[in-house]
Structure 1
Amino acid sequence: MRFHVSFAESLRQLQKSDDDFAVLFEHGSMRGIIFAPDEIDGQEPHIQDEIYLVMQGSGEFEMEGKVVTVGVGDFLFVPAGAAHRFRNFTADLLLWVIFYGEEGGEIE
């Protein structure tokens, strides 16, 4: 079982991806992802709970109409089904994302 992913390896996987994210780890219903949103974060609500950890950059995070400023080291929790997105973020915004809970959730 894979239990370690370096930051350098996660960046390599992201560069190889055709999307703005790369799945780095999966175990049961949990997935570990690196996410670098494009100029506009067009996410739709997910069917799984998720955690964001800001690795690089800064911006604003909106969830269900509430907005907070985020930066390196911040932790964000998003319950399944909640409308959320990053906005007014720096071009270098980079996030670890952990999806967990109900299996089969879509990553969008």
Structure 2
Amino acid sequence: MIIATTDTIAGKEITKTLGMARGSTIQAKHLGKDIMSGLRSVVGGELTEYSKMLEEAREKAINRMVEDAEKMGADAVVNVRFMTSMVMAGAAEILAYGTAVKIMNR
């Protein structure tokens, strides 16, 4: 599956638009990691616990988007974007979405 943030793929022609593919996950903060990050924020530096959590959440959202596109019979997803929103205190949704398409070589 080709995933692109652009609306075209070099060397490929989009032959059919299948619809929007999307995948999401909701991640909540972990109390122990939250305490460590709170202490780290006092002295400065990257909050590695949160960086890792968000990286994993993005991967889950992408994988779910790809699964959605595969159900539609897509070869690729173009115009991929991410969106986040807070769903409750300490929990956020990560949404990956794009346009599922059929492609062929030029």
Task: Tell me whether the two structures share a fold, i.e. TM-score over 0.5.
Answer: no
Query: Hey, which of these two has a bigger chunk of helix by percent?
Result: 2
Q: Computing the radius of gyration over CA atoms, which structure comes out larger, 1 or 2?
A: 2
Larger relative contact order (C-alpha < 8 A, sep ≥ 6)? 2
Q: In which range does the TM-score fall when normalised by the shorter chain?
A: under 0.3
So what's the TM-score if we normalise by structure 1? 0.22
